[in-house]
């Protein structure tokens, strides 16, 4: 039993390092990064099909995210359309997991908003992350559905920041 506790602590440390590296947002050199956004493409990655048996379904997560965003007044397009639609951004949701020999999952959920920054040549741009949040944790397989709740939590923070920067009243 002591060995399992050590494994759980190691997994937590690994996800903490992953989150610190890729999930923490540094606001010190950013201002109003969500101002003027109206169209969003959503890309969801990292939810394996076999997680469905544990209550974590990628399609359901996508539908829930889409519902939150449209209720907030954002127009949704496909990630491909976001590339060519003027003023659109990409909301990139990624799940990173590692399974221990004892069936624990360490996970990190990272949500990034990528905006197109125009270059000199007409029609060219570079994509940069202008907003980012993440969470991490450990779960048993039967608890993997709490990852969907973590995604919802981050999306709600995104919507709150979006509303504040665009002076849109109300809660979703």
Residue range 43-69, pLDDT digits in tens? 999 999 889 999 999 999 999 999 999
* CATH 3.30.160 is held by the domain 2-166: yes
Average pLDDT, the chain: 85
For residue range 149-158, list pLDDT tens digits in order: 999 999 999 9
Rounded CA-CA distance 85/135 in Å is 30
Structural domain boundaries of the chain? 2-166
Query: Which among 68, 52, 31 has a CA at the least distance from the CA of 159?
Result: 68
Token pair for 54: 């544990």
* pLDDT band at residue 27 under the 50/70/90 scheme: low
First to last CA, the chain: 44
pLDDT at 102: 86
């Amino acid at each position: 039993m002591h060995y399992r506790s050590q494994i759980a602590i190691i997994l937590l440390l690994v996800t903490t390092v992953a989150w610190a590296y890729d999930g923490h947002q540094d606001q010190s050199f950013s201002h109003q990064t969500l101002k003027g956004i109206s169209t969003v493409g959503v890309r969801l990655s990292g939810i394996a099909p076999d997680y469905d048996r544990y209550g974590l379904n990628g399609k359901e997560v996508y539908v829930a995210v889409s519902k939150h965003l449209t209720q907030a007044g954002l127009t949704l397009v496909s990630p491909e359309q976001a590339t060519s639609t003027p003023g659109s951004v990409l909301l990139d949701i990624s799940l990173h997991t590692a399974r221990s020999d004892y069936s624990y999952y360490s996970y990190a959920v990272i949500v990034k908003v990528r905006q197109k920054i125009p270059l000199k040549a007409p029609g060219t741009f570079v994509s940069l992350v202008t907003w980012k949040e993440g969470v991490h944790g450990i779960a048993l397989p039967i608890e993997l559905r709490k990852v969907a709740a973590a995604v919802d939590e981050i999306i709600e923070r995104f919507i709150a920041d979006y509303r504040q920067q665009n002076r849109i009243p109300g809660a979703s």
